[in-house]
């Protein structure tokens, strides 16, 4: 259970009565080591997929919260990029020791798609960020913000058809 995100009610696991994917406790070294062990068991392929579960139920433990860069009075889920980038940096460092040419592939999605406020990209030649923008985002500003934090490599994985239940004109193709 300590691998799974701590919920707002102090329990770990899938929130009661909710059918959502559980997130991990990314600051937990045992979680990090398990992810590395899983990658190694697959033969340490060049691309190390660290794309996390699609869920807004991020861990609220003290260690994960210490990685956040929340502004005073800000809602918990408004900006979690610094936490996720810290996790990505930790995992890049560990993976590079095992395979120097590794490409750690991650998402910038939901509440962690905007540019980090404090954290910097520690391994820009090894981190590949897949942006999942909203049609409401100023995507150029988002990418520029990430570039200012040191990002060099990224791809775009649009999710336009899943926002607000409509098909925007012009995106049909």
Q: What is the pLDDT of residues 74-99, one digit of tens each?
A: 999 889 999 999 999 999 999 999 99
Report the 10 Å Cβ neighbour count for 51. 12
In this prediction, residue 160 carries a pLDDT of 61
Give the number of other CB atoms < 10 A from CB of residue 155.
10
**Buried b / exposed e along 60-80 (16+ C-beta atoms within 10 A):** bbeebeebbbbeeeeeeeebb
* Dist CA 101 CA 2 (whole Å): 31
How big is the chain, counted in residues? 173
| pLDDT of the residue at 133 | 80
The pLDDT > 90 percentage for the chain reads 65
Phi, psi for residue 33 in degrees, rounded to 5: -65, -35
Question: Positive or negative CA dihedral for 49, 155, 141, 127?
Answer: positive
Tell me the per-residue pLDDT of 104-124, one tens digit each, with 9 for 90 and over.
999 998 889 999 999 999 999
The answer, yes or no, to whether residue 149 has pLDDT greater than 90, is yes
Phi-psi region of 44 (alpha: psi -120 to 50; beta: other; left: phi over 0): left
Average pLDDT across the chain, whole number: 89
Query: What per-residue confidence (pLDDT) applies to 162?
Result: 56
pLDDT band with cut points at 50, 70 and 90 for residue 171: low
Q: pLDDT band at residue 1, thresholds of 50, 70 and 90?
A: confident
């Amino acid at each position: 259970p300590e691998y799974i995100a701590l919920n707002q009610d102090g329990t770990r696991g899938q929130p009661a009565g909710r059918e959502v994917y559980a997130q991990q406790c990314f600051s937990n070294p045992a979680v990090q080591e398990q992810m590395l062990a899983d990658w190694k068991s697959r033969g340490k392929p060049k691309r190390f997929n660290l794309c996390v579960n699609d869920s807004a139920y991020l861990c609220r433990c003290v260690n994960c919260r210490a990685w956040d860069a929340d502004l005073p009075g800000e809602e918990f889920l408004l900006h979690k990029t610094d936490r996720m980038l810290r996790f990505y940096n930790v995992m890049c460092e560990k993976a590079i020791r095992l395979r120097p040419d590794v490409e750690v592939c991650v998402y910038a999605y939901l509440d962690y798609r905007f540019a980090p406020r404090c954290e910097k990209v520690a391994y820009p030649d090894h981190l590949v960020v897949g942006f999942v923008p909203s049609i409401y985002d100023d995507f150029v500003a988002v990418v520029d913000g990430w570039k200012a934090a040191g990002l060099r490599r990224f791809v775009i994985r649009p999710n336009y058809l899943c926002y607000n239940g409509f098909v925007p004109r012009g995106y049909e193709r």
